[in-house]
A and B are shown apart, each in its own frame.
Chain A
């Protein structure tokens, strides 16, 4: 089965995020009040093939996050997984 996994990596709450801070102050400079906080992260899209099911895909992606895609010292991650339906030729 083929899946697409969408991984979101964000700096941990307790960790300083200088880029997010700069973006927040830029938004304020543009006149957007009420932006209390900005956390700048990373979006990663994975195309997976040959996986037995969504549970297997999930545990594989979780392992990838722990081993490479996110650094658990400074980052949190979450992801969602969607099965890719076969192209029916429209």
Chain B
């Protein structure tokens, strides 16, 4: 399958993502510039981590009005797999493709460490190859990763199984219900604060993130079958 990795000004995990998809996993990758108005025929899209537009106004708020985001929204609404990692998650929330918002960590400190992440929903494009309750070791590194939404929306999200990942221990950022990642109703759009792309290349000592990218291929096959 062919992956598209969106590059915003200020993205800084775009090439890490390209590296693991292309060099480690052997997939084809196309880098998509934020001004592109065409996704170039890719089968799945990653919005990478970083600090698009310097996090001005709110993290992700400026990036979400990039020309390429109209195409990402169209792709997502058509059921295409879209993964937002860290800043990419913030962009998807700002774009309204995922519910909720990410605010400053409750401890007001940038956190950078490995976390145990529990898979809470396996019916998504990026967890289809996981088993329920599986715990993945994946690093986090963010300053605005506290996931929030209003009580009634939180109940709705939990009720429909929209929480995809939870911090197995205490959330490092104050996220409500220990939420580390969520999905849309169809399960094709997933956002998470932890960085699975930093846990794929065995050279980095962790490989638990690989299953997220493998899931997308499995999801695509299932999509064709269904």
Contacts and interface: CB of A to CB of B under 8 A. Distances in A.
A23 B101 CA distance: 22
B141 interface: no
A73 B93 contact: yes
A71 B61 contact: yes
B75 to A, nearest CB: 22
Contact of A14 (B99, B100, B108, B150): B150
Interface residues of B, number: 22
B24 interface: no
Contacts of B107: 18
A19 B100 CA distance: 19
B106 interface: yes
B146 A73 contact: no
Contacts of B61: 68, 71
Interface string A47-81: 00000000000000000000011010110000000
A14 B151 contact: yes
**For this complex, into which size category does the number of interface residues on chain A fall?**
10 to 19
Contact of A74 (B57, B101, B174): B101
Contacts of B153: 73
Interface string A20-47: 0010000000000000000000000000
Contact of B148 (A16, A19, A22, A69): A16
A18 B174 contact: yes
Interface string B52-72: 000001100100010000000
27 contacts: A11-B103, A12-B150, A14-B151, A15-B103, A15-B150, A16-B103, A16-B174, A18-B103, A18-B104, A18-B105, A18-B107, A18-B174, A19-B104, A19-B108, A68-B57, A68-B61, A68-B65, A69-B57, A71-B58, A71-B61, A71-B94, A73-B99, A73-B101, A73-B148, A73-B150, A73-B153, A74-B103
Given A15-B148, A16-B148, A18-B104, 17 more contacts: A11-B103, A12-B150, A14-B150, A16-B103, A16-B174, A18-B105, A18-B106, A19-B104, A19-B108, A68-B57, A69-B57, A71-B101, A73-B93, A73-B100, A73-B148, A73-B153, A74-B148
